[in-house]
Chains A and B, each alone.
Chain A
Amino acid sequence: MLLLILKRIGLGLITLFIVSLITFVGVEVLPGDACTTYLEREAYGAALDACIKRLGLDIPAYERYLDWASNVVRGDFGYSLSGEMPINEVLGPRVKNSLVLASVSILIGIPLAIVLGIITALWRDKLPDIMISTITIFSMTIPEFISATLLILIVAIWLGWLPGIVIIPSDATFYELLSNIILPVVAISMIMTAHMARMVRSSVIQVMASDYVQMAILKGVPYWKMVFRHVLPNALLPAINVVALTIAWLLGGVVVTEVVFNYPGLGRLVIESISNRDLPVVQALAIILASIYVGINLIADLMTLMLNPRLKSLQIRK
């Protein structure tokens, strides 16, 4: 058991190591280094040489990688090119803002998804299922920027209930954030809920068809007792992994949503840093987002292990 956990953590670390290689090599290989993009048209002669010296681009790539990687491990991402300030200072408030957005969305999304998934599964192919399933398919397939734009159009412009685009400074306090994130939270949790509800639905349906549930029905276990005692614990377990993957998948979608709502989180920083060709920040973001992805998946794996007694003694499938 302990070995299995250690192995999982080891695999995650290897993945992160490869990610760091990919981001470093990727930025290296793509045309235009930091200096030519930073100096633009003045990138020649003494200015270019000085810049290369200052950023240390004359040192061989592998040495720079080792240097960079060892700093990243210690939590130091170096300096941002455009602001000339430590990346950690740029990232700090953004991480906090994104965390607030994500955790509120998750807190709303997961319980809602479980309830909707159970309802659609128990009333399979009846009116509640058809209605909810149609809505979930719509909110799952429509791109984030469309649902976000429609939300602004309907709620903010036509109904006038909420301000459409709010200007939040990136160092806003927690309460300032909370009052302004209703629309972004709705946009994000809508998609997240849809994905998870569908997963819960098919999982519940699968368990309902299993032998032990049939057995419980034949034994005369009351319907709701059967649902809560026999079906749900078994059906929600495989859902944990999907919840993790959905959250991780949304890391990309959040970028778009944050841009639409002008929300100062990590997602908008992605766009800003790429527009400014601020490659050190892009590298830092790639590592951070990949770590979140790997971390969430690792936690989900471990939770599944802890909660499933059968898996404890088994090697689980990769």
Chain B
Amino acid sequence: MENNLITEDKQKNKLEKAFEILKTMASKPSGLIGLTIVLFHVVLALTSPYIAPYDYKAISPNTMLLAPSAEHWFGTDSLGRDVFTRTILGGRTALTVTFFGSLIALLWGGLLGIFCGLVGGKIDDVVMRVVDAFLSIPWILAMLLIVSLLGTSTEVLIPALGFFYGKGIVRVARAATHDVIAKDFIVSARARGHSNMSIIWNEIIPNVRDAILVEGAMRWSWMLLGFSSLSFLGFGVSPPTPDWGLMISNARGLMSFAYWSVIAPIVGLSSLIIGINLTADAFAKALGIDRSTKAPV
């Protein structure tokens, strides 16, 4: 009974803490704008299949490259498809793939980083050299190679993106662990005879979680950028799936007389990336983590 009370209390505290953080984030205009944009995009992604006015893959020669009108709010593209429909649907794949990709990146990057930071020594040296080596290969080259050989399905893209964006998290998690590891409570946990696993789980993770979460939020926006770049280059989702990167790349050649079909996905993608960035920044500030001096790696 008493135990129950404690856990309930703990959960309430956690909820309150999360709410508190959200409130701090929304207290600044940039954080509020970011949160609103992200929320808007998530809601749009969830509801767009029900509110889309047209079929996203309905090709019609009669409605090719129409200018925006009451019937087609954002005009139509070169195949006669409604740009508004495709734009509001265009974030769904990107959001899903990058969200799960970031989760994977957070998990393996965070855990490996904590492990290396804790163990140190030879293992740490070797792992960090390998991570450095992976960091020095441009992500785009590696991603393109994987995608061109294994295909562009989401089952390939999610783990591949998760892997390539996780290696930066390894460094952050390792550095954060180094900051914690010399503290007294770790020493005393060792003195109590706790195993490495127990120390990681009970002592280190609660202390480095914030830093890793902030890094993960930032990675999310970079991964979104990477994913849309792949789509733009023709190595992302395959047509006719609506996707912003792909839409921009298709509409680009005709933009001298049909600029609407390129502007709409540009606004969609840019606003989402800026929204996630602002949110991640506000999140970092709310948790008291200074990211301003970090390099973009």
Which residues of A does B touch, CB under 8 Å? Answer: 11, 14-16, 18-19, 22-23, 26-27, 30-32, 137-138, 141-146, 149-150, 152-153, 157, 164, 195, 198-199, 201-203, 206, 238, 241-242, 245-246, 248-249, 251-252, 255-256, 259-260, 270-271, 274-275, 277, 282, 285-286, 289-290, 293-294, 318
Contact = CB atoms under 8 A, between A and B. Distances in A.
A286 B140 contact: no
B136 A206 contact: no
Contact of B145 (A26, A141, A144, A251): A26
A18 B149 CA distance: 22
Given A30-B149, A146-B266, A277-B148, A22 B293 contact: no
A252 B139 CA distance: 7
Given A31-B150, A238-B293, A143 B229 contact: yes
Contacts of A293: 135-138
B129 A145 contact: no
Contacts of B135: 293
Interface of B: 128-130, 132-142, 144-146, 148-150, 221, 225, 228-229, 232-233, 235, 245, 248-249, 252, 255-256, 259, 262, 266, 269-270, 273-274, 277, 292-293, 295-297
Given A18-B129, A286-B137, A245 B295 contact: yes
A142 B270 contact: yes
A138 B278 CA distance: 11
A275 B148 contact: yes
Main secondary structure of the interface of A (DSSP, over half): helix
7 contacts: A19-B136, A31-B150, A142-B270, A145-B229, A149-B255, A157-B256, A293-B135
B141 A246 contact: no
Contact of B295 (A141, A246, A286): A246
Contacts of B296: 195, 245-246, 249
Given A153-B262, A252-B138, A285-B141, A143 B269 contact: yes
B274 to A, nearest CB: 5
Nearest to B178: A317
Contacts of B256: 157, 164
B295 A199 contact: yes
A16 B42 CA distance: 41
Given A22-B134, A142-B274, A270-B140, A150 B293 contact: no
Given A27-B145, A141-B273, 9 more contacts: A22-B137, A32-B149, A143-B245, A195-B296, A201-B292, A246-B296, A256-B229, A270-B138, A294-B136
A141 B229 contact: no
B44 to A, nearest CB: 19
B137 A289 contact: yes
B136 A256 contact: no
A153 B144 contact: no
Nearest to A21: B133
A231 B186 CA distance: 39
B141 A19 contact: no
Nearest to B232: A145
Contacts of B145: 26-27, 30, 274, 282
B141 A270 contact: yes
B132 A15 contact: yes
Nearest to B148: A274
Contacts of A203: 293
B229 A149 contact: no
Contacts of B146: 30
Nearest to B230: A256
Contacts of B259: 153, 157
Contact of A145 (B128, B134, B137, B245): B245
B295 A30 contact: no
Given A142-B273, A149-B255, A18 B133 contact: yes
Nearest to B125: A318
Contacts of B273: 141-143
B275 to A, nearest CB: 9
B129 A23 contact: no
Contacts of B233: 255-256, 259, 271
A274 B233 CA distance: 11
A54 B252 CA distance: 42
A137 B235 CA distance: 27
Contacts of A18: 129-130, 132-133
B137 A146 contact: no
Nearest to A295: B136
A153 B251 CA distance: 12
A256 B140 contact: yes
A157 B254 CA distance: 11
A137 to B, nearest CB: 7
Contacts of A153: 255, 259, 262
A27 B148 CA distance: 12
A241 B228 CA distance: 28
A293 B293 CA distance: 20
A291 to B, nearest CB: 8
Contacts of A26: 142, 145
A259 B293 CA distance: 31
B144 A274 contact: yes
Nearest to B226: A252
A187 B136 CA distance: 23
A138 to B, nearest CB: 7
B252 A149 contact: yes
Contacts of A256: 140, 229, 232-233
B295 A22 contact: no
B274 A137 contact: yes
Contacts of B137: 19, 22-23, 286, 289-290, 293
